[in-house]
Amino acid sequence: MAQDILFDLDGTLIDSSPGILASFARVLAAHGLAPAVPLEASLIGPPLAVTLRQVSGITDEARLAELVEAFKQDYDTAGYLGTEVFPGVAAGMAQLAAAGGRLFIVTNKRMVPTRRILEALGLAQFFAGIHTRDETAPPAVSKAAVTKRILARYAVDPAQALFVGDSGEDAAAARENGLRFIHATYGYGGAGIAAAPDAVLRHFTELPGVVVALSRRACATTERP
């Protein structure tokens, strides 16, 4: 079952919506703003500035930058503590790691809260690499670009690797880099999946079995005359 597996974070391994939405609400209130759209879990996933533009309705770049910094301060000190791990994630990660798999994080979330959350939840130990768009200057243009960098840095063979995520952006990152994609349908972004995934994950506890099934399918295809 040893595999190189790349994981999205929000909506795939963790339910970060309570903390994120609480931080959005506090920041908007502190700036005298009412939410321009309902504060709900479907907002989670895109880069911070994109989401803040949506929830605030603000288009002025200077005011938007002020909101971004206010959100970072609130979320990095208080909001991230509201994060919950999805059921079965800790045991599933331990099983995959014990089987010899290399596991990676690829996320739009900033590095500071990403590491704090993974450490607080006891998950950081399972990953060979934790990678975000903001770990480089300038930040990576997309999650697909971060994925490409991971493949090169760790000599990952795309044909032997998997990407687990909940959104259309995750599916695109997998497709653009030649990875098989496992769709976590319990996450936030299921409506954005345009093409059929290689496998569907309805509950994280199913993942080790899904990985085995995909590995057997790949071996069977390779061995055909």
Q: Which residues are catalytic?
A: 8
Hey, is 185 helix, strand or coil?
A: coil
> Which amino acid is it at 122?
G
Classify residue 145 by burial, with Cβ atoms within 10 Å: 0-12, 13-18, 19+.
middle
Hey, is 215 helix, strand or coil?
A: helix
Q: Give the helix/strand (H/E) hosting 131.
A: strand 129-132
Name which of 80, 63, 64, 66 is nearest 23 in CA terms.
80
User: Residue 15 phi/psi, 5° resolution?
Assistant: -100, 95
